Amino acid sequence: MLIDSFVVYHREKPIIKRSQYQFLVTMLLGGVLMCYAAVMYSGSPSHVVCALRPAMVSMAFTLIFGSLVVKSMRVYRVFLSSSLKRVVLSAGTMMKVLTAFLVVDIVILLMWELVSPSKATFKAEMVAEIGGLEVDRLHCESSSSIFVGLLFFWKAVMLFGGLYLSILIRKVSSDFQESVWIFASAVVVLFSSLLLLPMGYLVTLAASVFFLFFTFILLSATSLVIGLMLVPKILRLHEIASEAKNSRPTTKSKRTRDKGHSSESEDAQPLGVELQLGGSVAMARREKSTLSYRVFEDSNSGKEPTKTALVMHGILGNKLNWRTFSQKLTKANPNWRFICLDLRGHGDSPSFSEPHNLEACANDVFKLAAHLKVEPTAVLGHSFGGKVALTYLQQCMKQSRALPSQVWILDSLPGTGETDYASRDLTNSIETILPVVKQIPLPIQSKAQLIKDLQAKGVALGEAQWLTTNLRLTSKSPELYEWKMDVDVIEQLFRSFLATDLWPVVEDPPASEGKDVEIHFVHADRNNMWTPDLLDRLDAQVENQVYHHLLQKSGHWVHIDNPVGLMQIIQSNML
């Protein structure tokens, strides 16, 4: 019961959560029931005891091994089903299957009790120790062996079906994934069953000897199976906790207050000057050869961050779009630092040289990380930035670089304009807005005038207001504005965004090779491009640590429409 409590307490930890903790709980309940069954075999037979002995062993077996079977079915359907559209078993569906297994047990046991109940009966037996004289011994005995046979047949079907599935899935995954442990557990159950069967029906033993051997095999096998399914997870939880405790910051920053002037365009040492923002520290310095960035740390916690997350905006966005949300994440996670950056051609970052594509953006991020002397623990990207995050992971794999532990793709689909984005609304699409932006004469007189001009050309009010965040005062006049984004570069980047298919990264992720990397997709419930087929395709990779999370009451602007919900999703799954 203590282990049950441990599983429930840690149910939101990714390691426990991904294994569908409900079935770890049912296995443990089966273990508890098996212990009670062993106690029942130690007592004197009675009508109640004779009925409870097979019932408790049968139900305990089903709870333990049945949980393994449904886990095997889930892995098989996800990875090895021959159908073109793989069906993903949800926890609810799996629980229904396990319940059906238990119903079969209950039907057989009830029919047994109604037709030919097992009763405590005295039976004369010759005892060699007293010269072959007969002694009356109390046994549990039924007038018919049909129901015992039915139970054995049903358990054999479950056992060999589960064993077959476990053989099929034994090489599906590695690291601390469950496939190997499910296979090992099935083998343990098979061998213990082969030992118990002759003891019960082919060999006559003294009651005390039978009880000792029977309970030893029964409880040892039960403990071993539960250990195989739980110990790797417990060790992994301990390892993660130790890493968090023993790791040290990869960068050291000077604690000096900015004097009120901007230092974005100055050359600087890594993580140099800070801007105090309500308890969170935003540091904004860069070299001209790197991307512009701001770093957020919690200066009030008294802790040095041990983990780093890179946060990347969408197309036509900039690092300030995610400032408020990053500050909230920083306060909630003082052991993390969050670095918001401007992608090439955006905000205060240079445009750099061609080609302007997702791979080039990922290489820019590599250079910035090297300049800051950090290895990101997590990479988060919204929309266009989400595809940059996936490309970053792809390039890490290709170039044998250190992999992030988590990649977060926020309302961004991995496919192309002809596949995943085929149903996009072109009315206010970037490919529609960019030509309009290029028609706006420079310099721009005012933000209000820009909004009017954009609306006159068919741009919606929300998008027009958002575009004003990409303005900066010209150096020649303090009253005129210019774009702080490179529209021509952004056009090329967006073409790359629509042309690049990143499903290969999602469907052959690092976890499939034993690397401990999680990929998290967050999809807005008001974004109709997230089709059931697309979500099924993501679900098919759940065993490879690819997850998707539905963000309720949100459109594409996830951090604005439902920041609380987004925070809860990230907090629940962040390492």
**CATH number, domain at 59?**
1.20.1070
Q: Can you read off the two tokens belonging to residue 494?
A: 């967006």
Same domain, 516 and 378: yes
273 is a domain residue: no
Same domain, 510 and 417: yes
Same domain, 416 and 435: no
Query: Which tops the pLDDT comparison, 202 or 508?
Result: 508
Q: Which CATH number is 300's domain given?
A: 3.40.50.1820
276 is a domain residue: no
Give the H or E element holding residue 9.
helix 2-9
Q: Which of 439, 465, 491 is the last residue of a domain?
A: 491
Q: d(Cα 51, Cα 45) in Å, to the nearest integer?
A: 10
Per the structure, the complete domain to which residue 104 belongs is given by 1-80+90-126+135-239
Quick one: average pLDDT of 569-574?
A: 88
Q: Which residues pair with 297 in a beta bridge?
A: 281
Same domain, 214 and 69: yes
Give the H or E element holding residue 479.
none
Q: Residues for the chain: how many in total?
A: 575
314 is a domain residue: yes
Q: d(Cα 270, Cα 256) in Å, to the nearest integer?
A: 13
110 is a domain residue: yes
Q: Which of 471, 491, 511 is the last residue of a domain?
A: 491
Query: Which tops the pLDDT comparison, 38 or 294?
Result: 294
Kindly provide the residue ranges of all beta strands, DSSP E only, lying in 422-517, ordered along the sequence: 471-473, 481-483
Give the model confidence (pLDDT) of 76-130 as tens digits: 665 554 443 444 456 778 888 899 999 999 999 999 888 888 887 766 665 555 5
Quick one: average pLDDT of 273-286?
A: 38
pLDDT the model gives residue 221: 84
pLDDT the model gives residue 19: 66
Q: Do residues 187 and 170 touch, judged by C-beta distance below 8 A? A: no
pLDDT the model gives residue 391: 98
pLDDT the model gives residue 298: 85
Res. 503 pLDDT band, cuts 50 70 90:
very high
Using DSSP, state whether 182 is helix, strand or coil: helix
Q: What is the DSSP string of 508-529?
A: S-GGGGT---EEEEEEETT-TT
Same domain, 232 and 349: no
Domains contained in the chain, number:
3
Quick one: average pLDDT of 180-201?
A: 74
pLDDT the model gives residue 365: 97
Give the model confidence (pLDDT) of 297-336 as tens digits: 987 877 789 999 999 999 999 999 999 999 999 998 889 9
Same domain, 235 and 378: no
pLDDT the model gives residue 281: 40
Same domain, 506 and 459: no
Same domain, 375 and 436: no
Quick one: average pLDDT of 508-533?
A: 92
Same domain, 347 and 396: yes
251 is a domain residue: no
Q: d(Cα 140, Cα 287) in Å, to the nearest integer?
A: 84
Find the angle CA(393)-CA(396)-CA(397) to the nearest 5 degrees: 90
pLDDT the model gives residue 345: 95
pLDDT the model gives residue 302: 75
Say whether the peptide bond before residue 355 is cis (omega within 30 degrees of 0). yes
Give the H or E element holding residue 78.
helix 47-79
Quick one: average pLDDT of 201-217?
A: 71
pTM given for the model? 0.57
Supply the mean pLDDT for the chain: 80
Quick one: average pLDDT of 512-535?
A: 92
Residues of the chain with pLDDT > 70, as a percent, come to: 77
Same domain, 182 and 197: yes
pLDDT the model gives residue 36: 85
pLDDT the model gives residue 268: 36
Selection from 172, 151, 155 nearest residue 72 by Cα: 172
Same domain, 2 and 100: yes
Q: Which of 440, 465, 491 is the last residue of a domain?
A: 491
285 is a domain residue: no
Weakest mean pLDDT among 133-142, 342-351, 445-454, 550-559: 133-142
Res. 13 pLDDT band, cuts 50 70 90:
low
Quick one: average pLDDT of 519-548?
A: 93
Same domain, 113 and 222: yes
60 is a domain residue: yes
